[in-house]
Structures are given as C-alpha cells and as structure tokens.
Amino acid sequence: MTNNKTLPRLFNTWHFIWLAILFAELFTTASNAIQSVIWYGKISPSLMIIGAIDALVVSLIVAPIIFYFIRHTTELNKINEQLHLQMAERKRAEVDLQKSELKYRTIFENVQDIFFQTDANGNIIEISPSILKYTGYSREELIGKPEASFYLNLEDRGKMLEIMQKTGEVVDYEVVIKAKDDHQVHASLHAHLLYDKEGNPAGVEGVMRDITERIQTAAHLKQLNEILSRQATTDPLTGIANRLKFNDVLNTEIRRATRFSLSLSLIMFDIDDFKKINDIFGHHVGDNILRELTALVTQHVRIHDLFARWGGEEFMIMATNTSIENARHYAEKLLRIIEKHDFPNVRQVTCSFGVAQLGIDENDIRFMQKVDNALYQAKAQGRNRVEIA
C-alpha cells in the first residue's frame, strides 16, 4: 500500500492539475457536442475542432502557467517555513544566551575568588567585584591599571610570567597583594596566557584565592612547634639544653667522629656540697646559684660545643674536635673561673670535673660511663679538681 506522505509534493500537485485539465477537456468537448446538436441538429465537426483547440491551448499554455505559480508558491511556503524555524531557533538561542550571560554575571559578581584578565600590555581589562573585599579597591578603580600594581614584590610577577612562558600556566603560585590601606593579602594564583588569532600573546587570565588566613595559621603553628621543640629540649630553670637534647646531639656527633676519625670529648661537672647550700640557704638560693653558674660557664663555652644541664646540679659539655688533653685544659680553665666567681649569698662555689675521650668502636653508653667514673674519682679525691678517664 502506497503512503502519500512519501510522494513528492510537486508530483501530487502536478498530478492534480492534469486531472483537472482532463476533466475540463472532457467537459468542453461534451459542451461543444451538445451545442452543435442544439444549433444544427447534429454534431458539428468545426465546433469539435474548436473545442479541441481550446482544450489544447489550456493544456499547453494555461496549465504550465498555473503549475509555475503553484510550484513557486510551494517553494515560497517552504522558504517561509524554514525562516520561521530559523527565527524560532534563533530566539531560543538568544534566550539561552541571555540565561547563560545572566548566570555567568551572577557567578562573576558573587564569586569569592578574584577573577582578572589583562591585555597584552599587562593592563587590567576585567576584574571581579570581589577585589573590593580583599584589597579595598573597587572594580572601577582598577580597570585600565597595570596588573603589576597588585603585587608587593614585582619579582613575583616576573617569575610568574617566566613560568607561564615556559608552561603556558601557573598553578597555586603564591603571591602577596598590596591592599588599599597597605596591609598585605597572601593569594594563591592560577593563571594562563591568552593568545590572539595569529597565536601572539594577548594577555593573562587568572583567578586569585585569598590564603592569608592559611598562611597566618601555618606561621602560628610553626611558631608553636618551635616553642614546643624548645620546651622539649631546653632546661626550664637555666635555659640551656636539657638531657634529652644532649643525648640526641651526642649520638649524632659520635657517628660523625667515628666516620671521619675525629676527636670527641665529654666534660661532666657538678657543684660541690650543693645539698648543704639548699639546706642552709634554701632552694630558691640554690636555683639562683644554678642560674648564675650556667650564665658564667656559657660565656666561656666554645660556640661549636654543647652545654647542657644533665640533672640536679650536674652539667655536661660536649667538646667536638677536642682531644683528652685539650679537654682537660678546658675543664681546668672553667674550674678556676667558677672558683674565683663571687656568687650571691654563698660567695664561693666550687665544682668537680670528669673528662673522657671517645674510644674506638665506643657507643654512647660506654662513653657516658667513662666520664661519670672520672667525675666520681674527682669527688673521691677531694672535690674542686679535674680527673680524666
């Protein structure tokens, strides 16, 4: 079964026209025959010929003209329909574009990050209103101004451009922006180069995110960690290194001395009869003597040596690149300095010293035992003296 919808429209129209003409010819011929019978009592050949000529004229002249107009009318209708469709599609596209622009503008005007775009000369041609919140500058104040005026350090922008010229973009690049009131805003920058149709650089487009709070938090945490580290490795009474710090450095120096065949010596000393001082004058005087002694010895300890409170009235000095003989002279010098010093309340304080040098394949435990034994010998030999292991 044939579906008329599959037939070309012009074919259907042409078919209809010729059917109409065929019926017109038949009607004209029949009319002429009837007229001939009425007038002449018979069918007139001349009238029949005239009717046939009329039908032929209609077929050959009138029908093509009618067909021409119908065909062009059909084409015009087609064109008109296409125009209506195109206009409808264009209108829908314009509506969609308006919605898209409105959405973009809403995001652009309310985004918390700072969007910016510059021309080839580095001048700002677009920037989001959020710049006001972070810098105090309005969008209108910055349009047309050099982007370089943003940065606290011009070197930041130079490095940024250098990276973009190599890679085409920068990601999470930290910069410092100058605010209107001169306060500093730390920002993370994501940006890329823009190019014109010829492929030449046409500007920069990017987004800045305020990370000031993150930077401040990180700095605060670093400061807290440093304080905690100092507290963990510093004696709270005297302010010098504590036993934990000393042990940590000692192990490092033992490895270094063993590897490079360097001399390493320890000087251990404590205050003679310190318990009597506490019993007679009180612990607050004893604490003051510990502080005074620490300050005195610190002035004469070499910069590359480590001075630490070992515990109670005991102290340690790690003498790097120092032989046993030089360490003994070192200890004797400190003994005389302490002996001659005038301490508050008690006037004179003396100390006993033990000295030891790191032996071959000796670990920290053995090393510490040696210097402790030397100190014990100094105590046993009458105090206020230096003994070597």
Does 217 reside within a domain? Answer: no
- Using alpha carbons only, give the angle 18, 19, 20 rounded to the nearest 5 degrees: 90
Does 229 reside within a domain? Answer: no
Q: Residue 293: pLDDT above 70?
A: yes
**The two three-digit tokens of residue 357, written as one number:** 């040098």
Verify that 154 and 257 share a domain, yes or no.
no
Average pLDDT of the chain, as a whole number: 83
* Interval 143-160 mean pLDDT: 83
State residue 232's pLDDT score. Answer: 84
Choosing from 52, 82, 104, the residue where a domain stops is: 104
d(CA 89, CA 29): 54
Verify that 244 and 365 share a domain, yes or no.
yes
Does 275 reside within a domain? Answer: yes
Choosing from 104, 123, 146, the residue where a domain stops is: 104
Question: For residue range 277-288, what is the model confidence (pLDDT) as tens digits?
Answer: 999 999 999 999
Does 221 reside within a domain? Answer: no
State residue 24's pLDDT score. Answer: 65
Q: Residue 8: pLDDT above 80?
A: no
Verify that 200 and 69 share a domain, yes or no.
no
Is the model more confident about 328 or about 196?
328
Choosing from 82, 104, 126, the residue where a domain stops is: 104
Does 226 reside within a domain? Answer: no
Instruction: Provide the H-helix boundaries in the chain.
Output: 9-40, 45-57, 63-110, 131-135, 139-142, 154-167, 212-233, 243-260, 274-281, 283-298, 324-340, 364-380
State residue 55's pLDDT score. Answer: 63
d(CA 306, CA 328): 16
State residue 61's pLDDT score. Answer: 65
Residue with tokens 């014109």: 196
Q: Residue 108: pLDDT above 50?
A: no
Is the model more confident about 142 or about 306?
306
State residue 51's pLDDT score. Answer: 63
CB 322 within 8 A of CB 236: no
Does 170 reside within a domain? Answer: yes
* Interval 271-295 mean pLDDT: 95
State residue 287's pLDDT score. Answer: 95
Query: Which range is most confident: 70-74, 76-80, 304-308?
Result: 304-308
Q: pTM value? A: 0.54
Question: For residue range 29-48, what is the model confidence (pLDDT) as tens digits?
Answer: 666 667 666 766 666 666 66
State residue 276's pLDDT score. Answer: 93
- The end-to-end CA distance of the chain, in Å, is 122
Verify that 240 and 378 share a domain, yes or no.
yes
d(CA 363, CA 358): 8
Query: Which range is most confident: 177-186, 226-235, 312-321?
Result: 312-321
Does 378 reside within a domain? Answer: yes
- Amino acid (1-letter code) at residue 245: K
CB 324 within 8 A of CB 296: no
CATH number of the domain where residue 368 is located: 3.30.70.270
DSSP-assigned letter for residue 270 = E
Q: Residue 14: pLDDT above 50?
A: yes
Residue with tokens 């579906």: 3
Q: Residue 122: pLDDT above 70?
A: yes
User: CA neighbours within 13 Å on the CB side: how many for 362?
Assistant: 21
Instruction: State which H helix or E strand residue 201 sits in.
Output: strand 201-210
Position 114 confidence tier, pLDDT thresholds 50, 70, 90: confident
In this structure, what are the phi and psi dihedrals at residue 342, rounded to the nearest 5 degrees? -95, 105
- Give the least confident one: 55-59, 204-208, 376-380: 55-59
Q: Residue 214: pLDDT above 60?
A: yes
Dihedral class, residue 324 (left if φ above 0, else alpha if ψ from -120 to 50, else beta)? alpha
Verify that 299 and 323 share a domain, yes or no.
yes
State residue 379's pLDDT score. Answer: 95
Verify that 131 and 182 share a domain, yes or no.
yes
State residue 7's pLDDT score. Answer: 45
Position 308 confidence tier, pLDDT thresholds 50, 70, 90: very high
Report the Cα 160 to chain-centroid distance in Å: 14
What range defines the domain where residue 136 resides?
A: 114-211
Verify that 176 and 279 share a domain, yes or no.
no
Q: Residue 172: pLDDT above 80?
A: yes
Is the model more confident about 227 or about 291?
291
Position 153 confidence tier, pLDDT thresholds 50, 70, 90: confident
CATH number of the domain where residue 205 is located: 3.30.450.20
- Give the least confident one: 66-70, 90-94, 175-179, 194-198: 66-70
Report the Cα 26 to chain-centroid distance in Å: 91
Does 225 reside within a domain? Answer: no
Q: Residue 4: pLDDT above 60?
A: no
Task: Please give the full DSSP string across 135-160, using - where no structure is assigned.
Answer: HS--HHHHTTSBGGGGBSSHHHHHHH
Q: Residue 93: pLDDT above 80?
A: no
Verify that 28 and 140 share a domain, yes or no.
no
Verify that 378 and 240 share a domain, yes or no.
yes
Verify that 331 and 290 share a domain, yes or no.
yes
Position 2 confidence tier, pLDDT thresholds 50, 70, 90: very low
CB 350 within 8 A of CB 272: yes
Verify that 269 and 299 share a domain, yes or no.
yes
Number of domains forming the structure of the chain: 3
Q: Residue 290: pLDDT above 90?
A: yes
Q: Residue 165: pLDDT above 50?
A: yes
**The two three-digit tokens of residue 129, written as one number:** 């209103």
Verify that 99 and 121 share a domain, yes or no.
no
DSSP-assigned letter for residue 261 = T
Is the model more confident about 231 or about 51?
231
